Amino acid sequence: MTFRLPSAAPLLKTPQTAVLEGLAGFVPPDAVANDALPAAWDVDDAWVRRRTGIGERHRAASGVTTGDLALTAAARALAVAGDPLVDAVIVTTSTPDRPMPAMAPRLATRLGLGEIAAWDVSAACSGFVYGLASAVGALTSGCADRVLLVSAEVYSTLLDPQDRSAGILFGDGAGAVVLRRGEREEPGAVLALDLGGDGSGDELIQVPGGGAQERSRPGDYGPDDRYFRMRGREVFQHAVTRMTQSAHTVLKRADWAAEDVDRFCAHQANARILSAVGDRIPVPGERHVTNIERVGNTGAASIPLALADAQSRGGLRPGERVLLTAFGAGLTWGSAALVWPELPAVPRIDDLDHPAPRTTPIA
């Protein structure tokens, strides 16, 4: 299989870019350990850990939606940033509360942010990187001075109870960042981006039903088509190849060598993919940012959740060069390079007592 490599020319040609100034994450309190998975799946803790690196994943309670998780993560990130004025809200998710309208306007209203620009991005597990590129565009074009970017998923609503291959992987959660317009020389600056897609692989990861296609041809679909489906072996090959290539492209655009990378945070798909991509860049394992063992695969939320988790535990230091990369359904993939800023204290992602200011009751 051959792929066309994108140009290594820098995409961020202006002196200004997005600068990270707030970060937070949240996972619901219900943690499902490997030993608590359905007996019918015939798995145990050792088997799951060996195949995926996952020890537990969190599940949203009945009645808790993607928007609810997004609200908590967003309010926390705003608090970390000092509750600044925000001009735009971007939400990235594969599990929106409704097909229409977009989630972002409602989230902005629930946060009390007023009548500001708000839109959703759908790029599956690459959503955070795609959202980051969208935020950079809004900031550098002058459409906004500050952007709240939120990635949230409740994958448990898409999982087939009979499908252990997906059931052992996915968890629910949300991560959020606050970005302002700033200079490329500032700590926290996004220095380079790369995005890619290949629609010829759209059936490798999908939820076949539930959309306009099913509504126009209802006879072609059954109840099971509302569930998440993935062809794991093919996805593994694409994920490793695409994330590796994209990461190398971003390194060239940032004018970094692999050995310059202090911290590497990939989409938390499974431990074997993370290891394979890290080996091919290469970035040694001790520089990886990962929390898949405790939260599983949280889709678009996985990168900001891993970063927030690491920051809350002292695992990221100001001035470190951070490389991000992701791969998801679509097929989509993307990478980003930034220099880590000094941030105020970030709450632990499983801290239920941290206040969520600037919120309004649900109507």
Catalytic residues: 125, 267, 297
Reduced DSSP (H G I as helix, E B as strand, rest coil) percent helix, strand, coil of the chain, to 5: 35, 25, 40
Q: Work out the number of other CB atoms within 10 angstroms of the CB of residue 157.
A: 16
Core vs surface per residue 317-349: b (16+ CB within 10 A) or e: eeebbbbbbbbbbbbbbbbbbbbbbebeebbbb
Residues in Cβ contact with 219 at an 8 Å cutoff, skipping those fewer than 6 apart: none
Cα separation, 309 vs 150, whole angstroms: 15
**The two three-digit tokens of residue 114, written as one number:** 């007023």
Cα separation, 50 vs 272, whole angstroms: 9
Measured in degrees and rounded to the nearest 5, phi and psi for residue 79 equal: -65, -40
Question: What are the residues facing 323 on neighbouring strands?
Answer: 264, 337
Task: Label each residue of 270-338 as H, E or C.
Answer: CHHHHHHHHHHCCCCHHHECCCHHHHCECHHHHHHHHHHHHHHCCCCCCCCEEEEEEEECCCEEEEEEE
Residues in Cβ contact with 317 at an 8 Å cutoff, skipping those fewer than 6 apart: 262, 340
- Environment class of residue 244 by beta-carbon count within 10 Å: exposed (0-12), middle (13-18) or buried (19+)? buried
